[in-house]
Structure 1
Amino acid sequence: MDLKDQLKNLFPDHQETPEPVKEKSNIWLQDEPIICKYEKRKGKPITIIEGYNGATKDFKILAKEIKTKLSVGGSFKDEKIIIQGDYRDKIMAMLKEKGFKVKRVGG
């Protein structure tokens, strides 16, 4: 007898609840790595994410998600996500968690 059978014997009226399905993001994953680089503009550090081949709409969603998780400002211009500050390590960890390949450039 396994554990489920034993529980059914103890609680015959109990109905099993289905396990929650983990939601997958609808962002298109690519084969080539996304480039995450660091620059200084007007003396202030920024992180630039570029090299995404999917739809622009998906990249904008990704930009918004990064900005909200890190609680920082940023923008989306010319197929690039520009984040205020040096957050390469955190951004790379987030992207790897989502299944992207990430390449670190600069510094």
Structure 2
Amino acid sequence: MTSDWKARLGMVYSTDPDYEYDTDAEPEPETLAPERQELRVWLDRKQRGGKTVTLVRGFAGRADDLAELARMLKQKCGVGGTAKEGEIVIQGDHRDRVVAILTAAGYRCKKAGA
């Protein structure tokens, strides 16, 4: 039995020691191998106060693996960024460098529309 009380919020207390709490949480999808990933690298300025960012979209896998890939890209580009909602945001226009880094790491990626 898990001791994570947050997973049981909204549940009614049960006195049955064999009762299994059923949560509606979906399991995270397995991360595909890099050669099976179809990544697109975009340039974006919308809703960012005129600042340019490089977006990497199309990653299929767990959030932890996405965050690890974002950390590697940020480190190799020497800039800041984040990984959220299934995409990686890198500060600045680094499309060419990001495509080169991802290709060297074994990912299939392309530069998408500007």
Question: Within the alignment, does 1:45 sit opposite 2:49 as a pair?
Answer: no
Distance 1:30-1:54 versus aligned 2 partners, 3 A rule: farther
In the superposition, the TM-score normalised over structure 1's length comes to 0.69
Count the aligned residue pairs: 81
Aligned to 1:74: 81
Alignment of 1:7-46 (within 5 A): 28-40=33-45, 41-46=48-53
| Sequence identity (%) | 33
Is 2:74–2:81's contact at 8 Å kept on the other side of the alignment?
yes
Deviations 1:5-35 (A, max 9, x none): xxxxxxxxxxxxxxxxxxxxxx832534201
Aligned to 1:10: none
Which structure 2 residue ranges, 5 or more long, are not aligned? Answer: 1-31
Which structure 1 residue ranges, 5 or more long, are not aligned? Answer: 1-26
Whole-angstrom distance in 1 between the partners of 2:92 and 2:39: 18
Is 1:28–1:54's contact at 8 Å kept on the other side of the alignment?
no
In the superposition, the TM-score normalised over structure 2's length comes to 0.65
How big is the alpha-carbon RMSD for the aligned residues of Structure 1 and Structure 2? Answer: 1.5
Bigger proportion of residues as strand: 1
SS of the residue corresponding to residue 43 of structure 2 reads strand
Question: Within the alignment, does 1:62 sit opposite 2:75 as a pair?
Answer: no
Is 2:43–2:55's contact at 8 Å kept on the other side of the alignment?
yes
The amino acid of 1:33's aligned partner reads: E
4+ runs deviating over 4 angstroms? none
Whole-angstrom distance in 1 between the partners of 2:35 and 2:59: 8
Whole-angstrom distance in 2 between the partners of 1:53 and 1:42: 29
Q: In terms of Rg, which structure is larger?
A: 1
Whole-angstrom distance in 2 between the partners of 1:71 and 1:64: 10
Whole-angstrom distance in 2 between the partners of 1:56 and 1:30: 18
